Homo-oligomer: A and B are copies of this chain.
Amino acid sequence: MNAILRLTCRDRRGIVAAITNFIAHNNGNIVNLDQYTDPAAGQFFMRLEWDLKNFKIAPAKIEKALQKFGKISVTFSNRQKRAAVFVSRYDHCLYDLLLRQRSGELNCDIAAVISNHEDLRYVAAAFGKEFYCLPGAEKKQLALLKEKKIDLIVLARYMQILSPVFIRDYLYKIINVHHSFLPAFKGAKPYHQAYRRGVKIIGATAHFATEDLDQGPIIQQNVAQISHRDTVDDLIVKGRDLERQVLSEAVRYFLNDRLFVRGNRTIIL
């Protein structure tokens, strides 16, 4: 069993030594260490993973013991995160997440599939997942999320805008996929916008949802070449592959505790 520390603090001389020393003195063996210093802001970010065998501090007390170093979070490799997937009518991202979770690619418990439509109930059922149709009922949704102890919300082509209250409750815990290479083609019908502009590439973007629609910190982006022969329908088909890919990669980063947010940027360690 490993512990994973995510730390953010002002950069200062000896910070790496101080933390690695602390781990070593308590008999931890470092398995992985990644750090990044934002040169402009002088901000220090670290992800540190160590083996807990023989570690002198009990898991429940580790977080407190490390607080002196800065803004921290500590997670444990044997504790699966709990995810809720929000969907509407498109099934491709939902299937992709369910298949990747089942194959072990995404290490999480998909504790609920929540929708504003009934359409995809059968998909959730085929994978033995609980499905909740709660259209226009944010309070019920929030209550369910609390009850299920949800760590991560995945908007898998969920076609409804969340309220600022909802987003603030789960800030940087909501990952959305937008079907364009943001910041191009914000808003509705990006494939139609792309077709009209005559671009030669289309893209998809996974990002944290914030109160500003399609403007949250970007986690992952990918693109595909297109040509004049591609109709809007072709763009939609090609785009589905991109959406699946960027969304699942962003979710994997989150589940592996690799994401930090600094201003409107993500740092992936």
Contacts and interface: CB of A to CB of B under 8 A. Distances in A.
Contacts of A21: 17, 20-21
B181 A197 contact: no
The count of identical subunits is 4
A222 B201 CA distance: 8
Contacts of A263: 198
Interface string A127-162: 000000000000000000000000000000000000
Contacts of A171: none
A103 interface: yes
A100 to B, nearest CB: 9
A148 B234 CA distance: 30
Interface stretch (A34-42, A68-76, A111-119): A34-42
Interface stretch (A2-10, A58-66, A81-89, A223-231): A223-231
A231 B39 contact: yes
A199 B95 CA distance: 27
Nearest to A40: B231
Contact of A126 (B30, B126, B198, B228): B126
Interface in A236-269: 237, 240-241, 245, 263-268
A181 B181 contact: yes
9 pairs of A and B residues whose beta carbons are closest in the complex: A198-B265, A17-B24, A17-B20, A14-B24, A184-B184, A228-B267, A200-B221, A13-B29, A16-B20
